[in-house]
Amino acid sequence: MKATQKLHDLGQSLWLDNITRDLLNSGTLKRYLGELSVTGLTSNPTIFDHAIKSSAYDVAIREGLEKGKSGEGLFFDLALDDLTRAADLFRPIHDRTNGVDGWVSLEVSPLLAHDTASTIAAAKKLSARAGRPNLFIKIPGTKEGLPAIEEAIFAGVPVNVTLLFSREQYVAAAGAYLRGIERRIAAGLNPQVGSVASMFISRWDAAVAGKVPKPLNNRLGIAIAGRIYQAYLELLNTPRSQRAYNAGARPQRLLWASTGTKDPDASDTLYIKALASPFTVNTMPEATLKALADHGEIGPVMAADGGDCEKVLAGFAKAGIDVDTLAAQLQDEGAKSFVKSWNELLTVIASKSNALKQAA
């Protein structure tokens, strides 16, 4: 049995952190469902930036230009074409699991990361345009994003909370989700609105590479994950959460993101093995998914009490790493990185548009 199947059977959802038209057109994504136990996928501006550079989008871009589309509007047309196709592919899984699994994700413009009102408006509009029950709108868990998450959930828009790094950021995002659900219950609305909270793991280790003693290499992200997992399980068992579940709400699942290994000297499935945990999601880069299927091993299930995470984090504190300050820095850098990719994406679309116009 492949390690991908073992991980799925353990109770963790395997999602692909990638989307391209080639993946869809070639049947590769469909094959991953059957052969590698993939049950969902995520996307972000960086992924689309790389994807749209290929010629697979030229015909669609030309058609969009003929309709007067350009820039951001043209991009969302292209992205929605891909993601609604992917959503339809995963729809049987979504139906079979009663909405727990089988999701795809589309991000609002990263330029709105610090604009609450515009984020809410964009989330509602994109969700309505997609018209698929298994499409998450990704909203960053920044200070300005939290009210937008609450409002989107209250409006019935499924949300993938992105750019979360620390336990404190996770708890704040989970609180925004619960407030949205509680408001739906109070208003007599169906409280079953899907959501995941995406924790970025490998960026922790990349941030401290070369700054800590060698025994601590590639241990910070996993220790932070242990702390978050403990908080997640505790939150699932609070009276507040259980009151919401009793009214028909679903728990917001924890999602492990940024799980591709950055250190070439470390195992290419380092974070997959360490983050094995039921009732969570691991969204993997394509290379990591293939490595897991080829030679990966599944480690023991994560400790409900966080295991040795606090001891490891004490070692980082002793080495001069302030995880609270670093968490805020990583979230800010993550938001800026997505803006950079977004601007590069729009530049690629503009360049392709001009080239196609001249070739017409």
Q: Is 11 within a domain? A: yes
Cβ count within 10 A of residue 49: 21
Q: Is 360 within a domain? A: no
Q: Which residues are catalytic?
A: 138
Q: Is 51 within a domain? A: yes
CATH number of the domain encompassing residue 12: 3.20.20.70
The per-residue pLDDT for 204 is: 98
pLDDT tens for the 360 residues of the chain, in order: 899 999 999 999 999 999 999 999 999 999 999 999 999 999 988 888 888 887 888 889 999 988 998 889 999 999 999 999 999 999 999 999 999 999 999 999 999 988 899 999 999 999 999 999 999 999 999 999 999 999 999 999 999 999 999 999 999 999 999 999 999 999 999 999 999 999 999 999 999 999 999 999 999 999 999 999 999 999 999 999 999 999 999 999 999 999 999 999 999 999 999 999 999 999 999 999 999 999 999 989 999 999 999 999 999 999 999 999 999 999 999 999 999 989 998 998 898 888 888 876
Q: Is 191 within a domain? A: yes
**Phi/psi of residue 38, each to 5°?**
-75, 130
The per-residue pLDDT for 199 is: 98
Q: Is 359 within a domain? A: no
Domain holding 227, by residue range, is 3-354
- pTM for the predicted model, two decimal places: 0.96
Q: Is 80 within a domain? A: yes
Instruction: Classify each residue of 283-308 as buried b or exposed e, where b means 16 or more C-beta atoms within 10 Å of its C-beta.
Output: bbbbebbbbbbeebebeeebeeebbe
Instruction: Classify each residue of 32-44 as buried b or exposed e, where b means 16 or more C-beta atoms within 10 Å of its C-beta.
Output: bbeebbbbbbbbb
Residue for token pair 């039921």 = 278
**Number of structural domains in the chain:** 1
Q: What is the strand order of the sheet 38-41 is part of?
A: 38-41, 12-16, 280-284, 253-257, 195-200, 159-164, 135-140, 104-107
The per-residue pLDDT for 357 is: 81
Q: What is the C-alpha separation between 116 and 147, in angstroms, rounded?
A: 7
User: For residue 199, what are the β-bridge partners?
Assistant: 164, 256
Side chain identity at 136, as an amino acid letter?
Answer: F
Residue for token pair 């945990």 = 277
Cβ count within 10 A of residue 239: 8
The per-residue pLDDT for 360 is: 65
The per-residue pLDDT for 22 is: 93
Q: What is the C-alpha separation between 99 and 92, in angstroms, rounded?
A: 10
112 contact partners, CB below 8 Å, separation of at least 6:
118, 119, 122
